[in-house]
Structure 1
Amino acid sequence: MTRAVIYLPDPTSRAAAATQVAGRAMLVRTLMTAERAGVSRIGVPACLRAAAVEARIAANPRLSAAVAWLDRLAAEGARRWSGGPLLLLPANVLLDPLSVRRLLAARDPGDGIALEESKGSFSPILLASPALSAAIWDRLVEGAPLGDELELRVRQGRMTLVVGAGFFVPVLDEATRSQAEATLFRSLGISADSRVDRMINRRCSRWLTRLLILLPVTPNQVTLLSLALGLGAAWMLWSATQASALVGLALYMLAVVVDHSDGEVARLTFQESAFGEWLDFTTDTVTHAGLVLGMGVTASHVGGSVMVLAGAGAALGVILSALFARFLPEEAAREERLAAVLKGLGTRDLFYTVLVAFLLGLWFAPPVLPVLVGLLAVGSQGFWLTCLGRSYFGGGLRPPDLGDARAEASHLCGHPRHFRWRGSRQSPRSKGTPR
């Protein structure tokens, strides 16, 4: 069993532990970091007990099961804690869970392990040897400042240093609080973001997210707002006029921004869940299917009722492609060039291009609309048919591992798997915090 104890580096760090960073106190963020890194039990000194902190802990079943107040440990429990290795985490440091995992995975020759980035910060992060744990146990329970002493032990050079895998930001004052918050928001981007996502959508969503994390809203509620905007966009494309099509494009752009925000809110407030991931996936798929169906209805005014069938076929292709895309990444890794082509078919940038082309066609060349919808009806089948063929000839597709990141992007021909970040410890998102 891996045990961690939260400690105070200096007398000012008690106040810093209560500092709000992106809507959550630093102490709560430290606790969640430890839990997501795989720590089984997390000890907290009584001096950090506060009603707001206890409420946050009680609201999270995983955290509630992991946290132990040190002053409430029975004598036998205290002996077990003090007699073994302890992960020592400062209460006021923003830390990437992956760094903690690296630290815990390192081989300890016996003198302890320290995170290299924390050396010289006077807020060291280290896996203390049983001897060190016993020597400082009483002061850990009291919440006495230990930063200088622990830093000295790290500088003595007997501990193994491990390089971390992410950010390390001690929060000491308003300047470092702002730095920590900026670091968190920069970390919200994901590898599957398209160019438009990085240049426009993600920048806009972060402004919205900054507001949402201060409000009593859940990520699922934000997802439902994205669905409402997406359905509104589809309705505007249903028998669209030039004006309504423009409104539909604007609503879709807003829906995309909100779609980014729901995952950001979930990640920043530790409210990820399996249901939230599926709700997001369903919202994206329904929105895009509704949009292409609406295009087909509009094109039917030029190309006849067959265009409604073409739109329905395109919508079906979108749904099937989205489902197949959830299984693509594992298989596509075997053939990187094909994977790049398939994912390129499904980027949000391409969907924006389709919408703009539809809008321009409606404005300047209505006879082109049936051609565009026909291409959509055929092209949307290509993705899932290719996946099906590769599954049949390549041994089958495997179920996705719902880990580490959350579905932020919605695509015309699929949803590349990058789910709501739920930390690196759990594998199925069904173990995530209920939303």
Structure 2
Amino acid sequence: MTRAVIYLPDPTSRAAAATQVAGRAMLVRTLMTAERAGVSRIGAPACLRDAAVEARIAANPRLSAAVAWLDRLGAEGARRWSGGPLLLLPANVLLDPLSVRRLLAARDPGDGIALEESKGSFSPILLAPPALSAAIWDHLVQGAPLGDELELRVRQGRMTLVVGAGFFVPVLDEATRSQAEATLFRSLGISADSRVDRMINRRCSRWLTRLLILLPVTPNQVTLLSLALGLGAAWMLWSATQASALVGLALYMLAVVVDHSDGEVARLTFQESAFGEWLDFTTDTVTHAGLVLGMGVTASHVGGSVMVLAGACAALGVILSALFARFLPEEAAREERLAAVLKGLGTRDLFYTVLVAFLLGLWFAPPVLPVLVGLLAVGSQGFWLTCLGRRYFGGGLRPPDLGDARAEASHLCGHPRHFRWRG
């Protein structure tokens, strides 16, 4: 069983532990970092306990099961904790869970392991050997400052140093608090982000997320707002005029920004869930299916009622493609040319291109609309059929591994709230 203890580096770090960074106290973020890194039990000194912290812990079942207050361990519990290795985490440092995982995975020759980035900070992160755990146990329980003593242990050179895999930001004052918050927001991108996502959508969503984390809203409520905007966009494309089509494009762009924010809010406020992931997936799928169906209805004014059928075919293809796209593994997409093409066709950038092409066709060349809808119908059906072929003949599809996804989403989430067309 891996145990961690939160410690205070210096007398000012108690106040720093209560500092709010992106809507959550630093202590809560440190506790969640340890839990996400795979630590089974996390101890904290009583001096850091208050009603707000206890409420945050109680609201998170995973955290509630992992956290123990050191003054409540009892004699036998204190003996077990102090008699074994302890992961020591400063209460005022913003840290990537991947760095903690790397530290825990390293081989300890017996003198302890320290995170190299923390050396010299007087807030070292280290895996203390049993002898050190026992020597400083009383100080840990009392919440006495330990930064200088632990820094000296690291500088003596006997500990193994491990290079981390992410950020390390001590929060000491308002300047470093702002730096920590900026670091968190910069880290909100995901591997599925397209070029437009990175250049436009993610930048806009971060501003929205800064507001949302201060409000009493849940990520799922944000997802439902995105759905409402997406359905509004689809309605604007239903028998669209030039003006309504432009409004539909604007609503879709806004829906995408909100769609990015739901996952950001979930990761920043520790409200990720498997249900939220599937709600987000369903929302995206319904929105895109509704958009192409609306395009088909509009195209029917030029190409006849058969275009409604073509739009329905395209919508069905979008739904099936979204389902099959979830089974395209990231590593296969990097290794296989066909998988890379499929992933490229599944990005939101392509859908933006389709919407702009539809808008330009409606404005300047209405006879082109039936051709565009026909291509959508053929292309969307071809996408999922190609995925199906790879499943049965290429062995390239497998269900997504949520454990791997947790590792990739790393510092901010356990269940990434995204799929191919969202971020």
Normalising by structure 2, report the TM-score.
0.95
d(CA) in 1 for partners of 2:352, 2:40: 46
Cα deviation digits, residues 121-172 of structure 1 (max 9, x gap)? 0000000010000000001000000000000000000000000000000000
User: Does 120-129 or 341-350 show the bigger shift?
Assistant: 341-350
d(CA) in 1 for partners of 2:415, 2:135: 53
Q: 1:161 to 1:338 in 2, by over 3 A?
A: same
Q: 1:216 to 1:11 in 2, by over 3 A?
A: same
Residue number in structure 2 paired with 1:237: 237
Cα deviation digits, residues 46-82 of structure 1 (max 9, x gap)? 0000110000000011111111101111101100001
Cα deviation digits, residues 248-287 of structure 1 (max 9, x gap)? 0000000000000000000000100000000000000000
* Cα deviation, residue 397, structure 1: 3.0
Whether contact under 8 Å (1:324, 1:414) holds in the other structure is: no
Q: 1:331 to 1:52 in 2, by over 3 A?
A: closer
SS in 1 for 2:132: helix
Q: 1:412 to 1:122 in 2, by over 3 A?
A: closer
Q: 1:413 to 1:65 in 2, by over 3 A?
A: closer
Whether contact under 8 Å (1:112, 1:127) holds in the other structure is: yes
Whether contact under 8 Å (1:220, 1:262) holds in the other structure is: yes
Q: 1:391 to 1:225 in 2, by over 3 A?
A: same
* Cα deviation, residue 10, structure 1: 0.1
Residue number in structure 2 paired with 1:220: 220
Q: 1:421 to 1:177 in 2, by over 3 A?
A: farther
d(CA) in 2 for partners of 1:377, 1:421: 18
SS in 2 for 1:407: helix
Q: 1:419 to 1:44 in 2, by over 3 A?
A: farther
* Cα deviation, residue 416, structure 1: 12
d(CA) in 2 for partners of 1:61, 1:188: 23
* Cα deviation, residue 393, structure 1: 1.1
Whether contact under 8 Å (2:33, 2:97) holds in the other structure is: yes
Q: What's the RMSD between the two structures over aligned residues?
A: 3.6
Q: 1:412 to 1:396 in 2, by over 3 A?
A: farther
User: Does 393-402 or 76-85 show the bigger shift?
Assistant: 393-402
Residue number in structure 1 paired with 2:109: 109
Q: 1:410 to 1:303 in 2, by over 3 A?
A: farther
* Cα deviation, residue 402, structure 1: 2.2
Whether contact under 8 Å (1:34, 1:97) holds in the other structure is: yes
d(CA) in 2 for partners of 1:107, 1:409: 25
User: Does 385-394 or 28-37 show the bigger shift?
Assistant: 385-394
Q: 1:263 to 1:334 in 2, by over 3 A?
A: closer
Cα deviation digits, residues 167-194 of structure 1 (max 9, x gap)? 0000000000000000000000112211
Q: What runs of 5+ residues in structure 2 fail to find an aligned partner?
A: none
d(CA) in 2 for partners of 1:109, 1:152: 19
Q: 1:94 to 1:348 in 2, by over 3 A?
A: same
* Cα deviation, residue 419, structure 1: 5.7
SS in 2 for 1:409: helix
User: Does 403-412 or 290-299 show the bigger shift?
Assistant: 403-412
Residue number in structure 2 paired with 1:427: none
Q: 1:247 to 1:415 in 2, by over 3 A?
A: farther
* Cα deviation, residue 421, structure 1: 16
Matched, 1:364 2:364: yes
* Cα deviation, residue 21, structure 1: 0.3
Whether contact under 8 Å (1:318, 1:412) holds in the other structure is: no
d(CA) in 2 for partners of 1:63, 1:381: 44
Q: 1:178 to 1:417 in 2, by over 3 A?
A: closer
User: Does 408-417 or 331-340 show the bigger shift?
Assistant: 408-417
d(CA) in 2 for partners of 1:6, 1:336: 45
* Cα deviation, residue 392, structure 1: 1.8
Whether contact under 8 Å (1:322, 1:413) holds in the other structure is: no
d(CA) in 2 for partners of 1:260, 1:393: 35
Q: 1:306 to 1:243 in 2, by over 3 A?
A: same
Q: 1:77 to 1:408 in 2, by over 3 A?
A: closer
Cα deviation digits, residues 227-246 of structure 1 (max 9, x gap)? 00000000000000111000
d(CA) in 2 for partners of 1:416, 1:295: 31
Residue number in structure 1 paired with 2:125: 125
Q: 1:177 to 1:404 in 2, by over 3 A?
A: farther
Cα deviation digits, residues 201-241 of structure 1 (max 9, x gap)? 00000000000000000000000000000000000000001
Whether contact under 8 Å (2:233, 2:248) holds in the other structure is: yes
Q: Give the percent of matched residue pairs that are identical in Structure 1 and Structure 2.
A: 98
* Cα deviation, residue 334, structure 1: 7.8
* Cα deviation, residue 335, structure 1: 4.5
Residue number in structure 1 paired with 2:194: 194
Q: 1:143 to 1:422 in 2, by over 3 A?
A: farther
Whether contact under 8 Å (2:193, 2:422) holds in the other structure is: no
Q: 1:114 to 1:334 in 2, by over 3 A?
A: closer
User: Does 178-187 or 332-341 show the bigger shift?
Assistant: 332-341
d(CA) in 2 for partners of 1:185, 1:320: 33
User: Does 46-55 or 402-411 show the bigger shift?
Assistant: 402-411
Q: 1:246 to 1:413 in 2, by over 3 A?
A: farther
* Cα deviation, residue 410, structure 1: 21
* Cα deviation, residue 417, structure 1: 9.4
* Cα deviation, residue 415, structure 1: 15
Normalising by structure 1, report the TM-score.
0.93
What is the count of residue pairs matched by the alignment? 423
Q: 1:412 to 1:51 in 2, by over 3 A?
A: closer
Q: 1:384 to 1:408 in 2, by over 3 A?
A: farther
* Cα deviation, residue 395, structure 1: 3.8
Whether contact under 8 Å (2:333, 2:343) holds in the other structure is: no
Cα deviation digits, residues 364-414 of structure 1 (max 9, x gap)? 111111111111111111111111111121247321112465999999999
d(CA) in 2 for partners of 1:347, 1:391: 20
